[in-house]
Amino acid sequence: MTKKILVTGGAGFIGSNFIDLLLQDDSFSVTNIDVLTYAGKMENMHSFVQHPNYRFFPIDIANREELNKVFDQNYDAIVHFAAESHVDRSILEPSIFLQTNIIGTNNLLSAVVNGYAEKMIYVSTDEVYGSLREGEPPFTEKSPLAANNPYSASKAGADLLVRAFHKTYSAPVITTRCSNNYGPRQDKEKLISKTIAKAFNDEKIPIYGDGMQIRDWLFVEDHCKALSAVLQNGKVGEVYNIGGGNEQTNLDVVKQVLNSLGKSDTLVEFVEDRKGHDQRYAINWNKINSELGWKPAVSFEEGLKRTIEWYKKNGDPT
Ligand SMILES: NC(=O)c1ccc[n+]([C@@H]2O[C@H](COP(=O)([O-])OP(=O)(O)OC[C@H]3O[C@@H](n4cnc5c(N)ncnc54)[C@H](O)[C@@H]3O)[C@@H](O)[C@H]2O)c1
């Protein structure tokens, strides 16, 4: 019997990579819901759109009536990626972030409580923990949530809602909080894909403030494998941090991309810092390592090489 998985946001960066991984295994069938915002792209789904174990609904998760259409069958699990995901956009206009990230998550949780899915994995983010100072230990699953911008606040709101549904209704849910992903199919508004796109055209690469903000970078394929481990063996009611063990300043990351492309550092242009910009994220992923045996396998050098190769072959990140 195939395991029926409902993926939300599968036309986006991480969701489409995750569907690729799932469909390598014949024991899974995938239903993908994605409303195709600017971040959701038909070309991200090319590799699996014809797969016999795949179907697609271009539906808004925040629209409960529409959403009901995908519950023409029950699911073994929902893996919930769909979100407005870009911090800068959330600073300009937060409302859609609340609508998709909180109301949409609430709709999916209600479906779980009503018995339409055996469990749900909520893909949250390390940004819900807020910012670390230099020298502070990385966030653990027990660190308090202290979001600092409308995007991370909306993710934290949904993260707490997932927790509340478990405590209140015994909803079978699991939350993952991962660090910054990079890799094939990422929209060019994000740091690494933007740097690649601009460097291809010898355009200036804007860096916020002094570029000394620190992020932990995780190759998307490693993230998808972690989610697969959580899907198959994660414990209901738990939170799992997923990190790359690879903290770097934004400036260093950009310089490495430029170096790999044979371009000069003079393309870097420092611009006014982002409002409420978090200084440092770092994540302790001991729990998923010791309980589920996962650890990141792709080094930053290797992941960057594979990402650049992908963009060279597939054109500018769109
Ligand atoms: N990219 C990262 O570095 C990162 C890090 C931590 C957590 N996350 C989380 O992982 C998830 C996926 O991130 P991503 O980088 O792939 O994002 P993305 O922006 O590339 O993809 C999001 C997808 O969700 C879809 N979507 C948006 N609103 C929708 C709605 N109302 N109904 C249905 N579909 C909708 C979009 O069309 C898009 O295909 C998000 O929940 C994000 O918060 C991402």
Read off the pLDDT of residues 228-241 as tens digits, 9 standing for 90 and up: 999 999 999 999 99
Backbone angles phi and psi of 215, in degrees to 5:
-130, 155
| Tokens found for residue 100 | 């998709």
**What integer pLDDT is reported at residue 276 of this predicted model?**
84
User: Are 318 and 190 within 8 A, CB to CB?
Assistant: no
Catalytic residue, chosen from 126, 159, 221, 222, is 126
- At which residue do the structure tokens 């949904």 appear? 158
151 catalytic? Reply is yes
> CA-CA distance, 146 to 129, in Å (whole number)?
5
User: Are 181 and 220 within 8 A, CB to CB?
Assistant: yes
Distances (CA, A) of 146 to 15, 222, 288: 26, 26, 22
Catalytic residue, chosen from 127, 216, 221, 222, is 127
Q: Measuring CA to CA, which residue among 247, 267, 246, 244 is closest to residue 195? A: 267
**What integer pLDDT is reported at residue 316 of this predicted model?**
60
CATH number of 3-183+217-245+281-298: 3.40.50.720
54 catalytic? Reply is no
> Residue whose CA is closest, atom 42 of ligand 1?
85
Catalytic residue, chosen from 54, 116, 122, 151, is 151
Instruction: Give me the tens of pLDDT residue by residue for the chain, a chain 318 residues long.
Output: 899 999 999 999 999 999 999 999 999 999 999 999 999 999 999 999 999 999 999 999 999 999 999 999 999 999 999 999 999 999 999 999 999 999 999 999 999 999 999 999 999 999 999 999 888 999 999 999 999 999 999 999 999 999 999 999 999 999 999 999 999 999 988 999 999 999 999 999 999 999 999 999 999 999 999 999 999 999 999 999 999 999 999 999 999 999 999 999 999 999 998 888 888 989 999 999 999 999 999 999 999 999 999 999 987 644
Domain segments of the chain as ranges:
3-183+217-245+281-298
**What integer pLDDT is reported at residue 189 of this predicted model?**
86
Element housing 205 (H / E): strand 205-208
> CA-CA distance, 13 to 62, in Å (whole number)?
20
Site to probe by mutation for ligand 1, drawn from 37, 80, 193, 222 as the one with most ligand atoms within 8 Å of Cβ, is 37
